Structure 1
Amino acid sequence: MVPGGGVPPAVEGGRRIAATETAEVRAPAAEVDAFRRQVDELVSKTDLLEKRVNEVVGFYDGKKHCSGGRKAASSRKDCGHSKGMPDLMRQFGVIVRQITSHEWAEPFLKPVDVVGLQLDDYYKIITKPMDFSTIQNKMEGKDETKYNNVREIYADVRLIFANAMKYNDEQHDVHIMAKSLLEKFEEKWLQLLPKVENEERKQKDEDVNGVPSTKTSPEEAFAKLAKDTDNELIEINKQLEELRQMVVQRCRKMTTDEKRKLGAGLCHLSPDDLNKALEMVAQDNPTFQTTADEVDLDMDAQSETTLWRLKFFVREALERQTNIVSGRTDENAKRKREICNALARTNSKRVKQQP
């Protein structure tokens, strides 16, 4: 059937699968660390996007609670937004004070003492230093330059923490503190963002028409936030897929024993999972026939990418099948206990009723 002393053919769902097997090499540790850092960055982005999603959901949940005739109209001040736009600079100043008053904010309040700390490479790594005292001076107009809008301040606050995380190793206290404060800051920014976008839209309409706009609303701002978040999630999924492909391509070559185990795992897949596994093979090998009654799967003919994709898929599928079987076993045992208890109660009643 297949050359090379392969795994015995498997029969699953009316189809026969045969598998064979090659050698071995490992990816450098530096590449592993690089992949790990990329994964950490994607996880951080995902956490922030999750908070955005919660903000959007919370807004629309709040609107549901605020609907309902006269009672809702009388409490509109509590549930909705009053007319007019608050002073965004002042509100953002409150956010800045909340962040700078945190116990971990000390390293970020003043410019980095490059000379005193003997950080000879600092300006080679950090091209645009930033700190909260500089931001405060610009907000108060003490420097030659002033902020034109809230987004400019937002960018500088993020720059403070981004610089700290870039210069310091992930295990360094300053890196950890910067990451934590950045997450807290992003949470507060997300609460202010719909108002910012609403005001920006008003200003844009005023610039075009010369009159204030009455068509903008918090609903539009949150709708845009939801759309932007969805687009970013799509982009993250794309990056994850690209990263997965890079990782798989750099995997070491499978050993003969691993290929044998993979072939054995394919034998135990359910019909649906087996179809999915064969479709993976066909993605890299368009001439591979997935619908034939008897399928010859030559392991030595498959790319390392396909082999490792199959291994990850088979492992997850078998774990899922085991959990399902275990759940059914537990359910059957529970049902048997219930039947036995019911019979025991019925028998007890009969004994009591006998004269």
Structure 2
Amino acid sequence: MIGVTGHKWAGPFMQPVDVVGLGLHDYYEIIEKPMDFSTIKNKMEAKDGSGYKNVREICADVRLIFKNAMKYNDERNDVHVMAKTLLAKFEEKWLLLLPKVDEEEERRKKEEAEAQLDIQLAQEVSHAKMAKELNTELDVIGKRLEKMRETVLRNCRKMSTEEKKALMTVLTQLSPDDLNKALLIVAENNPSFQATGQEVDLDIDAQSESTLWKLKFFVKDLLQSQGKSPTSIGGNTTTTTVNNNNQNKRKRETNDGPAKPSQKKNKKPS
């Protein structure tokens, strides 16, 4: 251990103190942690993870060997003198070795930091891959759900005349942004429908059942998000619809405002 174990006085410190053989009945009362060079050697060679983590830990145990001997034995005792002499020689050797120890520690810290960075980058790549795969799966699920929704809408019952009137009433009361969203729903299934202009002529009876139900679900969700009752999409509201249309038309003529749907009157069955 840095040249100390080869010294002629190293013998008493090579093996654990024979407490029983030497009759040192108070040894463990004075020495809290016994130490010797054979114990240090075994710990250096340990393969189970219980060994030293760095040179400084070894150095601390070497010091402990000599400090234990000096603590237990009187200053005039030969063992005390031998321990004190060997400790001084050890400190001299340690000072010479210290720059290399510092250099080695810096190198290890750098390697550990680089290894940690590599692990972090690998984890980020893995997480990015997982996120991409998850997004792909969600897209597939979303498309399937949309197809299922389209199927459900195609098989919906026919909307009644009263329901159409109520739906038209709600549409005329929407904000410009929400109205544009509703008109885009109509345009999705009706390429010839023009969702632009100061006044949009929306023939509610000419729309497919799936378009009508999409509009109803849209305004229902919209009303719920605004804290209003979805039941407002129902009942006999023909008069209200006409009044709202007339008011909207007057506003457009005066303020050149956003587009509003105009309701075509439903034909009475013959």
TM-score by length of 1: 0.31
TM-score by length of 2: 0.40
Name which structure has the greater RCO, CA cutoff 8 Å, separation 6+: 1
**Greater C-alpha Rg:** 2
